[in-house]
A and B are shown apart, each in its own frame.
Chain A
Amino acid sequence: MDYSEAQTGFRQQPKVRMRNQAIDTAMDPSQLFEDTSTGARSGGYRGQETAGAGYPTQALLSEPMSNLAMAYGSSLASQGKEMVDKNLDRFIPISKLKYYFAVDTVYVGKKLGLLVFPYMHQNWEVSYQQDTPVAPRFDINAPDLYIPAMAFITYILVAGLALGTQNRFTPEILGMQASSALVWLIIEVLATLLSLYLVTVNTDLTTIDLIAFSGYKYVGMIVGVVSGLLFGRTGYYLMLLWCCASIFVFMIRTLRLKILSEAAAEGVLVRGTKNQLRMYLTMAIAAAQPVFMYWLTFHLVR
């Protein structure tokens, strides 16, 4: 009795799925990507509800058993997929990571400009929409992982190129560079986490945020090394100095809003050892960036 409806629902699925997706994307502007994985599933059970009205009974006489089996099988598969998703999500926060990669070309361009010249930017507040931060696509202040990841890879390749121009290149050296840069990144993030814990900062900074913020310095390093390749040692020092100053300003202006308490971030003077400590912490994190930038690049240019 009931499976006739299930069957027409299954037949009708593609059409319903398309309609559902259109509705979903229209209703939910904060969605990061068009999530095609849920479309089929929701199409499946929503199709069952709306089925009976649409198609007459001519379709179900063909091969009812095989259709039923297919519907059953696909529902099993989607259940299994759901379970894998849930368990994977427990170890690696994929849904959170998706947020950090929701970028587009305009955002990347603007953010790179901000990293090299942060002095004119006025509003540093990350905008929220119903308690969840807006995706980087729509908000230039939101931290992303796309630029740090790509800059990290580019830094390793540029380091290989720079060593190649000095006839010091061997294939192992790429691995050594990557390993060394990764280790310094891990140490920096761990040290920041430890000091945030010691100062007992109430902040919404997550570990992934910290990785993103400490990954932005690779952009300046790449700029420095490339100009060192083009213009020699003087160019390297000038560009690195400029990028160091920029990243220092960028980090202070960004982290100030996250680490200091609200009143102090607004510019109101708040007395107390607590706030002083937080200010020192912000300064220290920002001041660590130029040190790392110099430490990771000075041996590449001669």
Chain B
Amino acid sequence: MAFTLYSLIQAAILCVNAVAVLHEERFLSKVGWGADQGIGGFGDEPGIKSQLLNLVRSVRTVMRVPLIIVNSVCIVLLLLFG
């Protein structure tokens, strides 16, 4: 029951880490989720898969530097305060 803002922040950091760690060539292209797959033709509305791939790629691009900072702060805080 005690699901507080603190655990939400923790969960958000872990989820963003999980998305950002997906590697384009080593993992995604082998599962069939590569950059050139799942993208429809011109004028097609993008499907769920391409939207998802787009989101993953954007998260990886945007969050790389902030994640380094946030993760190191997290590590230090957790080491200090348990």
Interface positions of A (Cβ within 8 A of B): 176, 179-180, 182-184, 186-187, 197-200, 274, 277, 299
Contacts and interface: CB of A to CB of B under 8 A. Distances in A.
Contacts of A186: 8
Interface string B47-67: 010011001000000000000
Leading 4 A-B pairs by shortest Cβ distance: A179-B4, A183-B8, A198-B48, A198-B51
If over half of A's interface residues share one DSSP class (helix, strand or loop), that class is named, otherwise mixed; here it is helix
Given A180-B2, A299-B1, A187 B48 contact: no
Contacts of A274: 45
A103 to B, nearest CB: 28
The size class of the interface chain B forms with chain A is: 10 to 19
A200 B8 contact: no
B3 interface: yes
16 contacts: A179-B4, A180-B1, A183-B3, A183-B4, A183-B5, A183-B8, A186-B8, A197-B51, A197-B55, A198-B48, A200-B45, A200-B46, A200-B51, A274-B45, A277-B48, A299-B1
B23 to A, nearest CB: 22
Contacts of A187: 8
A86 B36 CA distance: 43
Contacts of B52: 198
Contacts of B2: 176, 180
Given A179-B4, A180-B2, A198-B51, 13 more contacts: A176-B1, A176-B4, A179-B3, A179-B5, A180-B1, A182-B5, A183-B4, A183-B8, A197-B51, A197-B55, A198-B55, A200-B46, A274-B45
A197 B3 CA distance: 26
Contacts of A179: 3-5
A277 B7 CA distance: 32
Contacts of A200: 45-46, 51
A282 B4 CA distance: 28
A33 to B, nearest CB: 32
Contact of A199 (B5, B7, B8, B48): B48
Given A200-B45, A200-B46, A274-B45, A180 B51 contact: no
B5 to A, nearest CB: 5
Nearest to B48: A198
Given A187-B8, A197-B55, A180 B3 contact: yes
Determine which residue in A176, A183, A199 has the highest number of CB atoms from chain B within 10 A of its CB, and name it.
A183
Contact of B4 (A180, A277, A299): A180
A179 B52 CA distance: 30
A199 B45 CA distance: 10
Nearest to A199: B48
Interface in B27-82: 45-46, 48, 51-52, 55
A251 to B, nearest CB: 22
